[in-house]
Amino acid sequence: MKYVFSDRISALKPSAIREILKVTSGGNVIPFAAGNPAPEVFPADVIENIASKILRQQPVTALQYGVTEGYLPLRERISEDLKARFNIGREFDEIIITAGAQQVVDLAAKVFLNEGDTVICESPSFIGSLNCFRSYNACLKGIPVESDGMDIELLEKALETEKNVKMIYTIPNFQNPSGYTMSLEKRKALYELALKHNVIILEDNPYGELRYTGEDLPSIKSFDDEGIVIYAGSFSKVLSPGLRVGYSVSPAEITAKMTVGKQASDVHSPMICQMIVDRWLAECDTAEHIGFIRSVYSRKLNLMCDCLDSEISGFISYVRPLGGLFIWCELDRNINMLDFCKAAAAENVAVVPGTAFMASESDRTNCFRLNFSTPTDEQIVEGVKILKKVCEKF
């Protein structure tokens, strides 16, 4: 049979990261490509204990259908925590528990985007979100990201000139892939511009807790007295991405629409996973666990920066990230980034070409993304040495 797929899915290209990972799926590949948490930071024994307690004490709640909005104790706990620590959430806001931050992006897109509507985003940006917007046949308008966040002048111009702008998508903290963090001034300016132009902001913050240097900055959602921000949070980077637990905070009217959208896709997120996260928050020293993750990642970041500085500073430049999982390396000359990454893959080092993260094919870049959380210390040292050889070849 000749399958006739929807336009929506036909326009989507396979993720360059997945393609690179396919080529480099052997056991001895140095993994600088994915954005996975370090295997050594998963608290498997803690989760085992919590899960068995849940199954002993509340088996029916854990195994039965639940409500689409999510497990109420978890929603209440997250709501209190966000208010107390980050001034996130107003009287009009409500929370839904989702399958990771990725589902918040999908639900926001489902609820707001008609075919041909424009989403303004950072360029580069997170491929998963860009592909999600593409799957709704939205137009993407990329705004260059500077080391202190989106270029606000270009954002303003885009808001004035682009047609049917519905949404600004931003990752203000330790952005994926650039690692850059938006300054407070730019956060405020972005909020004011969105308000002036009647545009929704989708603030995606999966890395917010992973800061290694400096003080936390207020989230854009914390300014949101007018109800224009959908905030996406996630337990993927601080507990486990496999549990698939994230959440959205948005005005009740938007949340109601997102709830209907979620009902149509997966009914609700798995109860057992939500209950595990709830008990983890209630019973464990989460601050200590996140402190442990930060110490592991900041050590790996320092090591990777030291290696880059000593091995390949003649070929690349980068801005040292204040947190997150990624370093965005810019090569000092124009070369084909896919060829560069294929050459690295042939030497068993997986890195992702910057071109994969651009909002449109015409946005140029000489960058590649390095992840420092997944590789071991030995792999970081060895992998950067191999990258030096690849740089020399080019």
Ligand X SMILES: Cc1ncc(COP(=O)(O)O)c(C=O)c1O
Question: From the list 68, 176, 240, 355, which residue makes contact with ligand X (rule: CB under 6 A)?
Answer: 176
CB of 149 to ligand X, least distance (A): 14
What is the sign, positive or negative, of the torsion defined by CA atoms of 361, 363, 365, 369? negative
Q: Which residue lies nearer to ligand X by CB, 35 or 354? A: 35
Comparing CB distances to ligand X, the nearer of 212 and 315 is 212
- CA pair distance 327, 144, nearest whole angstrom: 17
Residue 192 CA to residue 185 CA, distance in Å, equals: 11
CB atoms inside a 10 Å sphere around CB 150: 27
Q: Quick check: 128 binds ligand X (CB under 6 A)?
A: yes
Q: How far is the CB of 282 from ligand X (least distance, A)?
A: 21
Query: Which residues are paired to 371 by β-bridges?
Result: 326
With tokens 């970081």, the residue in question is 380
Of the two residues 101 and 165, which places its CB atom closer to ligand X in the complex? Answer: 101
First to last CA, the chain: 45
| Cα separation values, 37 from 40, 44, 237, Å | 8, 13, 6
The reply to whether 35 sits near ligand X by the rule CB under 6 A is: yes
Q: Tell the smallest beta-carbon distance from residue 316 to ligand X (Å).
A: 22
Task: Return d(Cα 186, Cα 188) in angstroms, integer.
Answer: 5
Nearer to ligand X by Cβ, of 89 and 208: the residue is: 208
Which own/partner contact pairs does 358-365 have at CB distance under 8 Å and 24+ positions apart? Answer: 358/123, 358/124, 358/142, 359/121, 359/122, 359/123, 359/124, 359/125, 359/130, 359/140, 359/141, 359/142, 360/123, 360/140, 360/142, 363/123, 363/124, 363/142, 364/334, 365/124, 365/330, 365/337
What residues form DSSP beta bridges with 190? none
Nearest to ligand X by Cβ — which residue? Answer: 100
Minimum CB separation from ligand X for residue 207, in Å? 7
Q: Which two tokens stand for residue 268?
A: 């609700």
For ligand X, the closer of residues 126 and 231 by Cβ is: 126
**181 lies in the site for ligand X, by CB under 6 A:** no
Nearest distance from residue 103's CB to ligand X, in Å? 7
In the complex, the smallest distance separating the C-beta of residue 126 from ligand X, rounded to whole angstroms, is 4
Q: Which of 117, 204, 209, 311 binds ligand X (CB under 6 A)?
A: 204
Please identify which residue in 29, 30, 171, 352 interacts with ligand X, judged by CB under 6 A. 171
CB of 167 to ligand X, least distance (A): 15
- Structure-token match 């918040």, residue found: 104
Under rule CB under 6 A, which residues in 286-325 are in contact with ligand X? none
Residue placing its CB nearer to ligand X in the complex, 43 or 128: 128
Going by C-alpha positions, the residue among 319, 317, 308 that lies closest to residue 180 is 319
> Are 59 and 261 a contacting pair, CB within 8 Å?
no
Least distance in angstroms from the C-beta of 309 to ligand X: 26
Considering the complex, state which of residue 94 and residue 204 has its C-beta at the smaller distance from ligand X: 204
Relative orientation angle of helices 271-283 and 72-86, to the nearest 10 degrees: 40
| HSE-up (13 A, CA, CB side) for residue 337 | 24
Residues that contact ligand X, how many (by CB under 6 A): 14
DSSP collapsed to 3 states, 238-251 = CCCHHHCCEEEEEE
- Residue 41 Cβ, how far from ligand X at the closest point, in Å? 15
Residues numbered 85-104 forming contacts with ligand X, rule: CB under 6 A: 100-102
Task: Tell me if 206 contacts ligand X by CB under 6 A.
Answer: yes
Which one, 245 or 307, has the nearer CB to ligand X? 245
Pick 130 or 155: Cβ nearer ligand X: 130
Measured from the CB of residue 169, what is the shortest distance to ligand X in angstroms?
A: 9
Site for ligand X in 220-279 (CB under 6 A): 234, 236, 241, 246
Residues in contact with ligand X by CB under 6 A are 35, 100-102, 126, 128, 171, 176, 204, 206, 234, 236, 241, 246
